[in-house]
Structure 1
C-alpha cells in the first residue's frame, strides 16, 4: 500500500457515519469538540457561515468542503448573528450521528433550505498517523469550477446513496467515505505544494526523493532497510537523504521505520489471530524476543497482552 492509503487504514476505528441535513432559516448549530473523531461537511445547496472561537466567520458556498481532522468545535449558521440551537445530530461525533440520515432542521415553510453532507470517523489517538497530527485544526477547500473533479464526483455519489439507500448501501457508503477522505487529503497536499512551508508531511509528500523512501518502507516494512538502501531508492547520497528526511519529517528515517513497523504490528494484533512469530516476520524481525522488546518500547505493553486487552 502507499503512504496515504496506509494513513486511512491505520488510523480509523469503528464504523464511519454520514448524513444529509436540510437547514431552514433562521438556524445555527454549535458542534462540540469530540476527542478521537474527525469529520467533514460539504455544502450542497444554499449558503451558510462557519464560526470558530477567536476567528472571524467564514462564508461557505455550494461545493465548499470543511474538514475537521481533530474534531474541534465550531458553529454553522445561516447568519453569524443567529443564536445557536441544540443539535439535531452532531457530525463531529460518530456515536451520535445516525449512520444514514436525511434530517430537516428548522421550519421548512417559505424558506429556502441549506443542505449539508456531513460525515464522521472515529480515530484511536494511540495510533494516529503523524500526517493527521500535521494537519491544521480546520481544512477549508473552497469550490472552484473544474478543480478537484474526482472529489466532486465522489460527493455526488455519496449524496445520492444517502438520499436513496438501496441494496448494497451498507458496503458502498463506507467505501465512498474512505474515498472522500483520501481525496480531501490529496487536495490539501496538492494545495500545500504551492505554500511557503518547507517542512512537514505535505512538504515530504511533495518531495519525490522523500516520497520514494516512504513508499518503499510502507510497501515492504519487513525488508532489512538501512539508511543507505533507502537513500538509493530516493536517488540521493546517504548523508543528503538522511538530512532531507529528518528536516522534512522531524525524525530520522529509521526512527520512522520502527514506528511504522510497530504501528503495523499493533493493527495485525488487533484485527487478526496471526501468531506473534509471523507478525514479527511481517514487520522485519527474525527474533520474536527482539520484536516483543521493540513493541513494548512503543506501546508500553507486550504484544500478547496488547492483543488480549484489545
Structure 2
C-alpha cells in the first residue's frame, strides 16, 4: 500500500457515520468537539455559514467541502446571527454525529431557503495516529471550483445518492465511499495546499520524489532489511543527502520511521489476527521473536502477547 492509503487503514477504527441533512432557514446546528474523530461537511445545495469557536465565520456555498481532522467543535447556520440548537452529539457519545447515522434527515426550521449538507465523521484511534494526520490544521476548507477535483465531486455525488435513496448494498457501499471521500480530501490537501512549497512537513515530504519513493518502499514491504543506503537508492540519492532530506521533511530519521511503522503494523496484525508471534515478527522484519518483543515493548509499553489480549474483541465485549 502507499503511504496515504496506509494512514487511513491504520488510523481509522469502527464504522464511519454520515447523513444527508436538509435544513430550512432560519436554522443553526452546533456540532460538539469529539476528540478521537475526524468530521466533514459538504454543501450539496444552497449556502450556509461555518462558525468556528475561535475564528471568523466562513461562508460556504454549493460544492464546498470542510474537513475537521481533529474533531473540532463548530456550528453550521443559515446566518451568523441564527441561534444554534443543542449539539448533534456530545463528547461522551461513542459514535460521533450519532444523530446522523448513515441516513437522510429533514430538519425543519422555518419556511426559508433550503440548505442540504452531507455530514459525518470517522472514528480514529489516538494510540496509532499517523504523524501525517497530526500535522493537519483544525479545519480544511476546499472551496468548490468548476472543473476542479472531479474525482472528489464524483465521490460526493455517489455518497449523497446512497444516503438519500438507500438500496440493496447501501450498508456496504457507504463506508467504502466515506473512505474514498477521506482519501480524496487528503490527497487534494497535500498536493495543493498553498504553503506546500515550505521546506518541512508531510506536505513537502509527499511532494518530494526521493522521500516519497523511500516512504512507499517502507510501506510496501516493511519486512525488507532496509538500511539508510538501500532507502537512499530507492530515492535515487546518496546516503548522507538522503538521510538529511528525509529527517528534515518527515521529522525523524529514516530508520526511526521504519521502526515506528513496523511496530504500528505489528500492532494492527496482533489486533486483527491469531497469527503466532514469530509469524508477525517475520512480517515486520524481525528474524528473532525475542528482538521483536523487545522492540514492541519499547514502542507500546507492553509485550506483544499482553497487547493482543487487551486489544482483542473480547476485551471490548464485541
TM-score under structure 1 length normalisation: 0.96
1:17 partnered with 2:24: no
Deviation of 1:103 after TM superposition, in Å, equals 1.2
Change in Cα spacing, 1:2 to 1:68, as seen in structure 2 (3 Å) is same
Deviation of 1:89 after TM superposition, in Å, equals 5.8
What is residue 238 of structure 1 aligned with on the other side? 239
Structure-2 separation of matches of 1:99 and 1:55: 28
> In the alignment, is the contact (CA less than 8 A) between 2:37 and 2:69 conserved in 1?
yes
For 1:103, which of 87, 102, 105 is the aligned residue?
A: 105
> In the alignment, is the contact (CA less than 8 A) between 1:26 and 1:106 conserved in 2?
no
1:171 partnered with 2:172: yes
What is residue 77 of structure 1 aligned with on the other side? 77
Q: May I ask how many residue pairs the two structures share in their alignment?
A: 309
Deviation of 1:88 after TM superposition, in Å, equals 4.9
Provide the secondary structure at the position in 2 that maps to 1:150.
Answer: helix
Structure-1 separation of matches of 2:51 and 2:97: 23
What is residue 59 of structure 1 aligned with on the other side? 59
> In the alignment, is the contact (CA less than 8 A) between 2:89 and 2:97 conserved in 1?
no
Structure-1 separation of matches of 2:260 and 2:238: 24
Provide the secondary structure at the position in 2 that maps to 1:147.
Answer: coil
> In the alignment, is the contact (CA less than 8 A) between 1:280 and 1:287 conserved in 2?
yes
What is residue 94 of structure 1 aligned with on the other side? 96
1:155 partnered with 2:190: no
Unpaired runs of 5+ residues, structure 1, are none
Unpaired runs of 5+ residues, structure 2, are 312-318
Q: After superposition, give the CA deviation of every residue in 1:74-127 in whole Å (9 maximum; x if it has no partner).
A: 11111111121124568995362443211122336x322100001211101000
What is residue 50 of structure 1 aligned with on the other side? 50
Q: After superposition, give the CA deviation of every residue in 1:239-281 in whole Å (9 maximum; x if it has no partner).
A: 0000000011110000000000000000000011111100000
Change in Cα spacing, 1:90 to 1:157, as seen in structure 2 (3 Å) is farther
Write out the 4+ residue segments of structure 1 that deviate beyond 4 Å after TM superposition: 88-93
